[in-house]
Structure 1
Amino acid sequence: MRQSDGRPAGAALIWKLLTLFLCVATPMVAGCCTTATHEGMTPSTFETGANYQKTVSLSVGGGKELDELGRTWISNEEFSKALMAAITKAGTFSRVVEGRQGDYLLSVMIFSIEQPVFGMAFTVKMEAGWTLKRIATGETVWQESIKSEHTSTTGDAFIGATRMRLATEGAGRKNISQGLAKISKLGL
């Protein structure tokens, strides 16, 4: 049996079902890209050597909400919040202060975030430059480029955009964890 346009009668139903499936499945797989969150980048455990009874001010740069392809990235604001929460949780410094009023200034510059374009497992690589200075003298106490990476799989999240965000947050979390571990061993 054929329709008036010459197509088989069942073809219209198949096309309608396929269109419905694509409308439902596409958002589930693609999702909307969002910036990495400070909650997702704040480490829950810390490898610390010392807790300093000094204050620290923070400066974060190089971040952005999304990359040029619209994929999840790390914003300066969210990374700064995660760094502040991590310093407070770990007790690396006595407290984080606003502006340049602390004993030390910790500057973190996000140099790069490498993300895959597609795949079932997303490995995100991050590199950030960390610099710690004494505010009173301007002396650089420590400076290092820290590289980190994290992989998220379909077991972590089926939706690609969520998997990308989780991998990006994981790379940021590991970068913060490594940076604070190194600072805690400086003997300030």
Structure 2
Amino acid sequence: MNRPLIRRLAVLAAGASLMGLAACATPSRPDAMALAATPALTAAPGDVGYHSVTTVNVSGGNDTNPLWTAQVSNADFKTALESSLAAAGYMGSEGRPMTVTASLVDLKQPMVGLDMSVTSQIRYSVSREGQVIFNETVSATGTATISEAFVGAERLRLANEKSIQENIRQFLTRFRATAR
């Protein structure tokens, strides 16, 4: 076989391997999905749920396979949701205990794209003493642009995080509006 051809193939194989490593999918980060405290979302004394959420249950998430696409795991989503509830003044044991259950129904992700938009659909249920006081499915979209991350796997992770963060924001907004 021709030596220059073998060298070229070896260089191409090495380059492809390095590109593959650079494009490994990484899991979504809880801190990037969580909401900070904002006056519009923060519960005050006397509001339904103020310092009353004692339990958060999460299901439907998937762990990220580094060789495939970024996902949102149950553990990371739960951490982000608990952080957001705490920042909004809902976590605690001062009032009648409440349970928040969130089920990630769907995470619609693109396979490729310059700007990647991910839409999350999450079913939230809030119960107190066995009675459901909130039960809605929230759909939200998050978009990451090529200017935010050149590598597609990183862009997808950012879009996942933005979608989940916006989903949590909409949940808290709807809960506050209906639970007054």
The alignment's TM-score, normalised by the length of structure 1, stands at: 0.78
1:89 deviation in Å?
1.2
Q: Which runs of 4+ in 1 moved over 4 A?
A: 11-21
The 1:78–1:26 alpha-carbon spacing in structure 2 relative to 1, beyond 3 Å, is: closer
Q: Tell me which residue corresponds to 2:92.
A: 95
- Please identify, of 52-61 and 158-167, the stretch whose mean Cα deviation from structure 2 is larger: 52-61
Q: Aligned Cα RMSD in Å? A: 2.7
Offset of 1:95 from its aligned partner? 1.9
Q: What residue number does 2:83 align with?
A: 85
Q: Is the 8 A contact 1:124 1:149 kept in 2?
A: yes
Q: 1:108 aligns with which of 96, 102, 107?
A: 102
Aligned length: 173
Displacement of 1:171 in angstroms is 0.6
Q: Give unmatched runs, 5+ long, in structure 1.
A: none
1:1-188 to 2 correspondence within 5 Å?
A: 18=12, 21-28=15-22, 31-44=23-36, 46=38, 47-48=40-41, 50-51=43-44, 52=47, 53-56=50-53, 57-66=55-64, 70-91=68-89, 93-95=90-92, 103-134=97-128, 136=129, 138-188=130-180
Stretches of structure 2 that go unaligned for 5 or more consecutive residues are: none
Are the structure 2 counterparts of residues 163 and 54 from structure 1 closer, same or farther at C-alpha, using a change threshold of 3 Å? same
Q: Does the aligned pair in 2 maintain the 1:49–1:185 contact within 8 Å?
A: no
**TM-score of the pair, normalised by structure 2:** 0.81
Aligned counterparts of 1:105 and 1:153: Cα–Cα separation in 2:
36
Q: Is the 8 A contact 1:49 1:181 kept in 2?
A: no
- Following TM superposition, by how much is the alpha carbon of 1:6 offset from its aligned partner in structure 2, in angstroms? 6.7
- Structure whose CA Rg is larger: 1
Q: Distance in 1 between the 2:28 and 2:99 partners? A: 24
2:42·2:87 contact (CA, 8 Å) conserved in 1? no
